[in-house]
Each structure stands twice: as C-alpha cells, then as structure tokens.
Structure 1
Amino acid sequence: MLYLMELWESVRDFIATGGDVLYIVMAVLFLMWVLMIERYWFLSGVFPKIRSKIITNWDARKDTTSWYAHRIREAWISEANDKLNARILLIKTCVALCPLVGLLGTVTGMITVFEIMAVQGTGNPRLMASGISMATIPTMAGMVAALSGMFFATRLESKVRRAKQSLVDSLPHH
C-alpha cells in the first residue's frame, strides 16, 4: 500500500511539474490503450467464433459457384471486415493526437514563461525554469504515449489484415 501511495505521489509531482495538459495526455493514452486491449480481445476471443460460423454457413451451402453465392460470400467477408476494423481508425487518431496534445502543453508552458518574464523580468531564473519544464514535459509525455501506441497499433492492423485474409482463404469460390 505504501508503494502505491509513493507511486501516486510521484505521478502527482510529475503532473504538477508538467502542467494540467498532462491530464489530457493521460486521458487520450488511457482511451487508446482501452481500445487496443478491446481489439486484441476481439481478435483472440470473439472473431474466431464469427469466423467459424461464417465458414460453417458457407460449407453448408449447396450453391457456391453462382453469381448470387459470390455476392453472399462477399457480403459475409465485408461484414467480418467491418467488425475487424471497428475502432482501428479511432486508435490511430489517438496515436496521432498524443503528440499534438503534448505540443499544446508546450504552448501553454511557454505562455507561462512569457507571463513570468512580463511580471518578474528575466532576473528570476528559477521561475522561468519551472515554466520551461512545464513546456517540455508535456511534449515528451505526448511523444512517449504516441510511440507506445504506434508499435501496438501497427501490430494490431497487421493482425486484422491476416485475420481477414485467413477468412477469405477459408471460403473457397469455385
């Protein structure tokens, strides 16, 4: 319990040093990871059942060669593709949004520095340093958040492509 309290204090100190924009970075990062975990869960737990149902329905058809059969096959593949790609664009948007929110923190931190310079002058380097850290820490946090999401989002997209191709290969069209 003491470890968790110390961890929370260090996170709180980090946010105090970086400014309130870090809360937005944290919210975007949390949303991105919730969406990615949900997609991984869908790919490993839910989609195999959908895939096997589609394959079973296709194998149960007597007619797999007519024009109508091919349209039905394409419709099933399209529906599965829609389910596979659900929320992928939102994940990619969150990845792209993280550095932009970090840059927002840079702008607000620099505004703080300029306010300090206007009120105190340039004679107080300690106050200016706090504003500069408030400008750089959100940028760093946004970049780290984006990098963590970029790797897994790319892997997720690759898994989705392979799952779709596997489904297409499993539905032979004669």
Structure 2
Amino acid sequence: MEEVRLFVERGGEVVYPIMLVIFLLWFYLFERIFYIFFIHPARRAQAIAEWTSRSERRSWHARQIHQDLVCALDFGLQSGFSTVRMLIVICPLLGLLGTVTGMIEVFDVMVQFGGGSPKPMAAGISKAILSTVAGMVGAISGLLAQYILLKVVDKEKQRCHTSLSFD
C-alpha cells in the first residue's frame, strides 16, 4: 500500500483523475462480466422458452416477435461497451496531460535553477513519466479485458441466434 501512495505522490495531481477513470472502467467491465455470466443466461432461457412455446412461427407477426427477442438479447449483451471504450480512450489522454504538466514543471525548474542541475528537475520528470505510465496501464488493461469480453459476447450472440432459429 505504501508503494501505491508513493506512486500517486510522485505522479502528481493528474494521477487522481486517472485512478478514478480506471476505477470506473473496471467497474463497468465487472458489470459487463456479471451481466454476461449471471443475468444473460436467464434472459436467453426466457427468450428461448417464449419462442419455442409459440405454436405458429412463420407469419410476419411471428417473425417480428422473433426479431424483437433477438434484438433484446443483443442489446443486453452490447450495452455498456461504448462507455468502456470512452473510458479506455480517456486514460492515455489523462496520462498525456500529466506528461505535459510534468514537463512544464521541469521547464519552470530550468528557468529558476538553470539546466545544469538535474536533481531539481527530477520531480517534474517523475510526474511526467509516472502519469503516462498510469494512463497507459489503465488503457492497456481495459483494452485487453474489453477484447476478451467482446469475443465472449460474439460467441454468445451466435449461440442466441442459433437457439432462436426458425424451424
């Protein structure tokens, strides 16, 4: 825990919003995981039961009901990923903001003490690098998790479409 505190302290003020965005990102990712593995199977079973209990499945009306069932399942699986994508994009941008603010601090130190003393510049360089790392770690971990979840969603959508096929 001490390492995290030091990381945040050395990374500067921009690390706090990065941490907030990463928290929100993983909150949404865990919500999607919960939905896909715990809520969606019951909804899929309910949709399949509703479709198979129909005696007539060939009319225009039946096809509309079928399309509504499939779309509702697809929407449930896809929902929330636009927010995840947005949060993934924000992470490196906040890291870049931290880089810029850290470099501004380096230039301020250079103006005050001159370019010959690297020790006072180290704090600004540390802020620049650590905030960039924090933003990139958030983005990369989010991208990986999103990729895996979208693969699971694609397989589940295929499963739903074959389960709800016409006779």
> Taking structure 1 as the reference length, what is the TM-score of the superposition?
0.91
Partner of 1:69: 62
CA contact (8 A) 2:70 2:164 kept: no
In 1, Cα distance between equivalents of 2:159 and 2:96: 41
CA drift at 1:123: 3.5
Equivalent in 101, 119, 123 of residue 126 of structure 1: 119
How does 1:33-72 map onto structure 2 within 5 Å? 33-72=26-65
Q: CA RMSD in A?
A: 1.1
Superposed CA deviations along residues 31-86 of structure 1, whole A, max 9, x for unmatched, are: 11111111111111100000000000001111111111111111111111111111
Deviating more after overlay: 43-52 vs 94-103: 94-103
Supply the AA of the counterpart residue of 1:70: R
Question: Residue type of the partner of 2:78?
Answer: N
Instruction: Structure 1: give runs of 5+ residues left out of the alignment.
Output: 1-6
In structure 1, the partner of 2:80 is 87
Residue 115, structure 1, aligned to residue 108, structure 2? yes
Could you list the runs of 5+ residues in structure 2 that have no partner in the other structure? none
Aligned match of 1:163: 156
Aligned counterparts of 2:41 and 2:111: Cα–Cα separation in 1: 62
* TM-score after normalising by structure 2: 0.95
Q: Which amino acid aligns with 2:70?
A: I
TM-aligned CA deviation for residue 124 of structure 1: 2.7
Indicate the percent of aligned positions where both proteins have the same amino acid.
38
Q: Tell me, in whole angstroms, the C-alpha distance in 2 between the residues paired with 1:109 and 1:133.
A: 7
Distance 1:78 1:121 in 2: 64
Q: Secondary structure at the match of 1:63?
A: coil
For 1:121-160, what aligned pairs fall within 5 Å after superposition? Answer: 121-160=114-153
CA deviation map 1:81-128 (0-9, x unaligned): 111111111112211221111111001101111111222222431111
> Aligned equivalents of 1:42 and 1:106: distance in 2?
37
